[in-house]
């Protein structure tokens, strides 16, 4: 009886833990795709709002009632993956990749706002869907205060319901050009389960400086799929875009200081239909413990408690007999 009581107590606590932390609990209700959304973004430095920042947003994808996303017509030709994304780092890379395409192709924003004295940029009457909030910056006495681009799904995921009026607080850093010569590098990686025969013999990459093509290079096995160049750190913004991505691949770009890593990932049939829309708080975007593994751990832990309880009862019985 004692063992059973302990086990039931543990089971109840564990179930509450699983249900309380699983993002599926918030996604159980359908999205009202006809409902208007709003987005308030606060741009601040140490709690003080920064005014007069131009903020551009782009509507990247439509969303369905079950939170499956499909690229809008304007972005349908870009080979980026937006479903079955499982980490915040992937969403960051997707934002970086889309910004490069937008910069190169001169795509007009879905909407634009300017921050007020409190550092707030407000957008009203937005459709549900996946949005890109473009890079934003403000001039300082010494350099530039920079806010990186990020993705936002409207509605976002709240504690137990969808939130159609979202608020974001991106973090920024002050960038001060060194005016020294730096070495930049672009590197090509393949994530295709070693299918070397499916890879093209070479890829073409445009290197952009402040949105304009500064150089076009060819990456192949002969140069170890990489290219380096030097430039003075004068505050210019460098980015890269792979041209003519093979149909069998998605593309993403990771930026690490002065290195650009372009990754081609083989397209495969999705194995998980659960959506992973980006929301305002990090734990809810991806990086969550899968529900199935929670159940497995729950069962194994319950069995362990049961075995320990039986062993303890036997020990007490044997001691009583002596």
Tally of CA atoms within 13 A in the half-sphere of 121 that contains its CB: 22
More confident residue, 29 or 304: 29
- The predicted structure's pLDDT at residue 277: 46
Is residue 10 very low, low, confident or very high in pLDDT (cuts 50, 70, 90)?
A: very low
- The predicted structure's pLDDT at residue 317: 52
- The predicted structure's pLDDT at residue 270: 47
- The predicted structure's pLDDT at residue 230: 97
Question: What is the percentage of the chain residues whose pLDDT exceeds 90?
Answer: 64
- The predicted structure's pLDDT at residue 282: 32
Is residue 21 very low, low, confident or very high in pLDDT (cuts 50, 70, 90)?
A: very low
Alpha carbons 3 and 166: distance in angstroms, whole number: 47
Task: Please say if the pLDDT value at position 113 is more than 50.
Answer: yes
Average pLDDT score over residue span 109-123: 97
Burial of 254 (0-12, 13-18, 19+ CB in 10 A): middle
Alpha carbons 123 and 133: distance in angstroms, whole number: 11
Is residue 108 very low, low, confident or very high in pLDDT (cuts 50, 70, 90)?
A: very high
- The predicted structure's pLDDT at residue 181: 97
More confident residue, 240 or 47: 240
Give me the helix-helix angle, 2-21 and 291-321, nearest 10°: 160
Alpha carbons 221 and 179: distance in angstroms, whole number: 33
- The predicted structure's pLDDT at residue 297: 44
What residues are paired with 61 via a beta bridge? 71, 130
Is residue 18 very low, low, confident or very high in pLDDT (cuts 50, 70, 90)?
A: very low
Average pLDDT score over residue span 143-161: 92
Alpha carbon 98 to chain centroid, angstroms: 12
Alpha carbon 204 to chain centroid, angstroms: 26
Q: Which of 25-29, 64-68, 113-117, 302-306 has the highest mean predicted lDDT (pLDDT)? A: 113-117
Encode pLDDT of 193-213 as tens digits: 888 888 999 999 999 999 999
- Look at phi and psi of residue 275 and say left if phi exceeds 0, alpha if psi is from -120 to 50, else beta: beta
Alpha carbons 107 and 272: distance in angstroms, whole number: 32
Is residue 303 very low, low, confident or very high in pLDDT (cuts 50, 70, 90)?
A: low
Q: Are 251 and 80 in contact (CB under 8 A)?
A: yes
- The predicted structure's pLDDT at residue 302: 52
What residues are paired with 320 via a beta bridge? none
- The predicted structure's pLDDT at residue 285: 32
Task: Please say if the pLDDT value at position 191 is more than 80.
Answer: yes
Task: Please say if the pLDDT value at position 292 is more than 90.
Answer: no
Encode pLDDT of 215-273 as tens digits: 999 999 999 999 999 999 999 999 999 999 999 999 999 999 999 999 999 987 444 44
Alpha carbons 6 and 223: distance in angstroms, whole number: 63
- The predicted structure's pLDDT at residue 189: 96
Contact partners, residue 196, CB within 8 Å, separation at least 6? 190
Write down the mean pLDDT value for the chain: 82
Task: Please say if the pLDDT value at position 30 is more than 80.
Answer: yes
- The predicted structure's pLDDT at residue 74: 96
Average pLDDT score over residue span 93-119: 97
């Amino acid at each position: 009886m004692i063992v059973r009581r302990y086990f039931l107590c543990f089971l109840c606590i564990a179930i509450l833990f699983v249900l309380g932390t699983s993002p599926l609990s918030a996604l159980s209700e359908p999205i009202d795709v006809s409902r208007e959304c709003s987005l308030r973004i606060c741009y601040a430095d140490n709690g003080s709002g920064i005014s007069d920042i131009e903020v551009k947003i782009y509507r990247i994808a439509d969303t369905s009632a079950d939170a499956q996303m499909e690229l809008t017509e304007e972005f349908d030709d870009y080979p980026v993956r937006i479903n079955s994304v499982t980490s915040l780092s992937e969403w960051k890379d997707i934002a970086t990749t889309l910004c490069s395409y937008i910069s190169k192709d001169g795509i007009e924003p879905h909407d634009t706002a300017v921050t007020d004295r409190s550092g707030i940029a407000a957008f009203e009457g937005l459709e549900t869907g996946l949005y890109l909030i473009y890079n934003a910056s403000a001039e300082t006495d010494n350099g530039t205060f920079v806010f990186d681009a990020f993705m936002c799904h409207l509605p976002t995921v709240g504690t137990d319901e969808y939130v159609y009026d979202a608020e974001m607080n991106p973090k920024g850093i002050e960038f001060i050009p060194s005016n020294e010569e730096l070495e930049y590098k672009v590197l090509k990686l393949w994530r295709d389960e070693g299918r070397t025969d499916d890879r093209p013999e070479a890829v073409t990459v445009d290197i952009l400086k402040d949105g304009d093509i500064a150089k076009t290079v060819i990456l192949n096995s002969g140069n170890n799929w990489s290219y380096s160049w030097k430039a003075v750190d004068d505050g210019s913004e460098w980015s890269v875009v792979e041209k003519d991505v093979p149909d069998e691949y998605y593309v993403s770009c990771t930026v690490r200081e002065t290195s650009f890593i372009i990754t081609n990932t083989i397209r495969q049939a999705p194995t998980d239909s659960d959506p992973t829309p980006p929301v305002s708080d990090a734990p809810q975007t991806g990086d969550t413990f899968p529900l199935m593994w929670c159940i497995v751990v729950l069962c194994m832990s319950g069995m362990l408690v049961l075995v320990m309880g039986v062993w303890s009862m036997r020990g007490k019985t044997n001691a009583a007999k002596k």
